[in-house]
């Protein structure tokens, strides 16, 4: 009778109801949880690992892990937070195990040849386009040199635009620790930006 | 002279949600820096949006959901299978042990399915039967002379001769 009451509710069953349904032996409850959160988990996994196949695999693994440990879920946090934490841990493991690195195309910090900037560009969005090219490449180069933990934090901040406090909650870290990791990551991005900044400044003086 | 902020500093400000009051005040007053900070933020958003995974079809999500549920089902089946295997192995071990133990008791001990009294009675009966058989043999030796059997029939003359010689020598006192 309880399940009938849940089904007829307008806002649908809560996560707790679906968990109880699953623990009671009805897997349909868990299928609903999967369809409810799979998009968010996949999106976040992709933001971190930057690969569609890996993100898909991690999403599936995260749900299976959640199912296996469902009885241990005490409800101290939201199910979504708990599930996201599982997925993030899998992403971090995946990054740690990755033996290959993405090599972004473009000049690196310390390269002899400074990037050429078309400072005389008169188009209205010229400055924006320059910044765009600078930042995109700097981010890609910098992130590859980060530790797995720093990558996770930086990418959650950059791609998911999560506040530092939320990242701290998801990673079960102190906000100060997250801030320190993020600061180091941003510092590396800035380092990658230095050649462009120097070239930009030199071009400005030449004008 | 007014200090302007570089892209790097503005980038840090954008990422860290900096509470740098001086920078915030300057950006609010300086058009150039304000524009640059807006450009940095906008670019970060644009880069993040561009680098996101392409939109997935409903088929993708359905396939993923099915894959998860199938993995769970397989796992459940395996989880159930392990105790069954253990139970089967235990049953095999029990049967083998019982069989070996049974063989040992048959070869080394009396059949415990009968009571000790019955065993004693059985042993006594067997002993009587053996004695009777021995007695029977003795009787047969007396009643039937093996020399008179069909097999030894042809040697009857020899037997008689030997008997005759023996009787003659007894007469003469040599035996």
Q: Please give the full DSSP string across chain A, using - where no structure is assigned.
A: -HHHHHHHSTT---HHHHHHHHHTT-THHHHHHHHHHHHHHHHHHHHHH--HHHHHHHHHHHHHHHHHTGGG--SSS-HHHHHHHHHHHHHHHHHHH-------SSPPTT-SSPPP--TT--STTHHHHHHHHHHHHHHHHHHHTS-HHHHHHHHHHHTS---HHHHHHHHT--HHHHHHHHHHHHHHHHHHHHHHHHHHHHHHHH-
Host domain of residue B84 = 57-109
In a domain, B139, yes or no: no
pLDDT, one tens digit per residue, over A38-64 is 999 999 999 999 999 999 999 999 999
Q: Please state the domain count of chain B.
A: 3
Same domain, A109 and A207: yes
Please list the alpha-helical segments (H only) found in B20-115: 21-29, 31-50, 58-108
Task: Using the 3D structure, point to which of A73, A100, A127 is the last residue of a domain.
Answer: A100
Who's near B24: CB < 8 A, 6+ residues apart? B13, B18
- The answer to whether A22 and A67 have CB atoms below 8 angstroms apart is yes
Q: Chain A contacts of B43, Cβ < 8 Å?
A: 128, 131-132, 135-136
Distance from CA of A110 to the nearest CA of B (A): 17
Host domain of residue A174 = 104-207
- Residue B84 is predicted with a pLDDT of 59
Nearest to A27 among B47, B52, B69 (CB): B69
Q: Mean pLDDT in chain A?
A: 81
pLDDT, one tens digit per residue, over B107-118 is 555 454 444 444
ipTM, two decimals, is: 0.75
Same domain, A82 and A140: no
Same domain, A110 and A203: yes
Mean pLDDT of A107-124: 42
Name the closest residue on chain B to residue A160, using Cα atoms: B48
Tell me the residues of chain A between 44 and 103 that have a Cβ less than 8 Å away from chain B: 46-47, 50, 52, 55-56, 59-60, 63-64, 67-68
**Which segment of A104-118, A189-203, B72-86, B145-159 scores lowest on mean pLDDT?**
A104-118
Top mean pLDDT of A112-116, A122-126, A171-175, B120-124 is at A171-175
Nearest to A136 among B8, B47, B64 (CB): B47
């Amino acid at each position: 009778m309880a399940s009938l009451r849940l089904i007829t509710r307008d806002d649908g069953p809560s996560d707790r109801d679906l968990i109880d349904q699953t623990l009671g032996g009805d897997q349909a409850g868990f299928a609903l949880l999967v369809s409810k959160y799979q998009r968010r988990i996949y999106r976040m996994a992709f933001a971190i690992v930057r690969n569609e196949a890996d993100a898909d695999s991690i999403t599936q693994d995260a749900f299976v892990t959640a199912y296996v440990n469902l009885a241990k879920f005490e409800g101290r946090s939201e199910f979504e937070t708990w599930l996201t934490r599982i997925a993030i841990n899998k992403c971090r493991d995946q990054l740690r195990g990755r033996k290959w690195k993405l090599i972004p195309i473009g000049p690196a910090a310390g390269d002899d040849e400074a990037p050429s900037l078309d400072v005389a560009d008169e188009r209205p969005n010229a400055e924006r386009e320059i910044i765009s090219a600078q930042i995109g490449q700097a981010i890609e180069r910098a992130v590859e040199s980060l530790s797995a933990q720093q990558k996770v934090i930086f990418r959650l901040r950059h791609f998911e635009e999560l506040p530092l406090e939320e990242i701290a909650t998801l990673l079960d870290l102190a906000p100060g620790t997250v801030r320190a990791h993020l600061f180091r990551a941003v510092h590396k991005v800035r380092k990658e930006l230095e050649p462009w900044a120097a070239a930009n400044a030199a071009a400005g003086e030449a004008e | 002279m007014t200090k302007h902020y570089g892209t790097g500093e503005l980038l840090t400000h954008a990422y860290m949600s900096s509470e740098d009051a001086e920078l915030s005040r300057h950006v609010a007053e300086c058009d150039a820096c304000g524009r640059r900070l807006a450009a940095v933020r906008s670019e970060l958003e644009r880069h993040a949006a561009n680098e996101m995974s392409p939109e997935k079809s409903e088929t993708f999500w359905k396939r993923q959901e099915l894959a998860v549920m199938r993995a769970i089902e397989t796992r459940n089946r395996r989880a159930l299978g392990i105790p069954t295997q253990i139970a089967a192995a235990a049953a095999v071990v029990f049967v083998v042990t019982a069989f070996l133990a049974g063989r040992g008791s048959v070869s080394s001990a009396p059949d415990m399915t009968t009571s000790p009294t019955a065993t004693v009675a059985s042993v006594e009966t067997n002993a009587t039967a053996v004695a009777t058989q021995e007695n029977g043999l003795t009787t047969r030796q007396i009643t039937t002379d093996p020399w008179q059997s069909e097999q030894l029939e042809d040697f009857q003359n020899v037997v008689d001769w030997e008997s005759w010689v023996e009787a003659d020598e007894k007469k003469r006192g040599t035996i």
